[in-house]
Each structure stands twice: as C-alpha cells, then as structure tokens.
Amino acid sequence: MAIVKSSVPGMMFIALIALPWLVSTWFYSAGRVVWECHLDFEMLVSSPDQTAERTLGSYSQFFYGNNLGFSRISGRKVRTLKNGQTRVHNFNRFIDFKYVQAGPYLKNKVTKVTRKQGDTLDDDQHLAFMSPPGEDVYVQVLKLGPSTYSFGRLGMPRQICQGRQGWLMPRLR
C-alpha cells in the first residue's frame, strides 16, 4: 500500500509533463505534411507535321493531414519546329489543391496555380501534371508497402510516395 501512495504523485507529475505534448501533437497534426511524392520526368511528343517537343522536369506533391496540399513543377520545354528552329521555355509553378479519398482513388481539385520567377512558358501550352483551377483530377492509388504508395494518372508516369504512419489512407490494402 505504501508503494501505491508514493507512486501517485510521480504519475501525476509525468501526466502533467506528457499531456500538453500529446494534446499539441494531436491538435497540430492536420497541418503537417503526411505524404510526399517526387518524380523526375522526361516526355517526348512527336507530331505528324514534323514538330517535336521534349519536356524535362521535376514534379513534387505534398499532402497535408487536413485534405489540403500543394504541388511544385519545374523544368524546361524544348520545341523543335518544322523549319528546324528551336524554342526553349522554362516553367516553375506551384499548384494548390484540395483532396479527398474516393475508394482506391484520390480526387484532387486544383484551387490555385501560381507562376514563379523564371517561368517563360505561355499559359496556353499544355504542361504534364497540370490542370486548370476548378478541374477535378482522379489519381489511382496502389499500396506497395506499409507506408509506400504508387500514384498514377492516365497517360502520366507513376509517382512513388512515402507517408508517415499511414495517416492518409490507412484502409487501402
């Protein structure tokens, strides 16, 4: 009985120290990046009118626990015209989006696209992984391991994603 009485103040002391940390971790967890996807890509498009377009770039996505996220895409697009002239454009953009899980898919809605310094690509030129604001994009998700997933969009290279503690999609098998 004496052991129980002497351990109660120690337990209360430990609880008073640990409880604020546990509460703050739970409260602020929605603002943390819980999934990250990174992809370096190269795309070559040839058309019947003898023009070619080569795009080299890097694409990253960051998913927050509160169903918001952003993407970063940067690189260079080289276009060869029929007459042999070459046009080079740089792109550097940030995309804000909202996402929800829809079965084995993620439904992303682009909310804002921001051009950053050095972006010389016209808005009317198509860019891989980019959608205009307001458009819904469905991404298929495949589980590869305990905290590793593969994200894929129709006609685009697959992304390998790493997560923390399986917060985003714990029910996928």
**Identity at 128, one-letter amino acid code:** A
Residue 43 falls inside a structural domain: yes
Amino acid (one-letter) located at 87: R
Greatest C-alpha distance within the chain:
94
DSSP, collapsed to helix, strand or coil, labels residue 28 as helix
**Binning pLDDT at 50, 70 and 90, where does residue 144 land?**
confident
Domain annotation covers residue 151: yes
pLDDT in tens, 22-65: 554 454 444 566 777 888 888 888 888 878 899 999 988 888 87
| Pairwise CA distance, residues 92 & 118, whole Å | 7
Residue 17 and residue 38 in one domain: no
Q: Tell me which of 173 and 87 has the higher pLDDT.
A: 87
Same domain, 26 and 37: no
pLDDT at position 52, please?
Answer: 87
Q: Same domain for 17 and 61?
A: no
Please indicate, yes or no, if residue 152 is contained in any of the structural domains: yes
Q: In terms of domains, do 47 and 25 share one?
A: no
How far apart are the C-alpha atoms of 6 and 10, rounded to whole Å? 7
Task: Quote the pTM value.
Answer: 0.68
Tell whether 39 and 124 lie within a shared domain: yes
Give the residue numbers spanning the domain of 14: 1-31
Say which amino acid occupies 106.
L
pLDDT of residue 43: 86
Contact 41, 61 (CB under 8 A): no
Q: How many domains does one find in the chain?
A: 2
Tens of pLDDT along 71-122? 999 999 998 888 889 999 999 999 999 998 877 788 889 999 999 999 999 8
**Position 64, amino acid:** Y
Fill in the amino acid letter for 156: M
Q: Are residues 23 and 46 in the same domain?
A: no
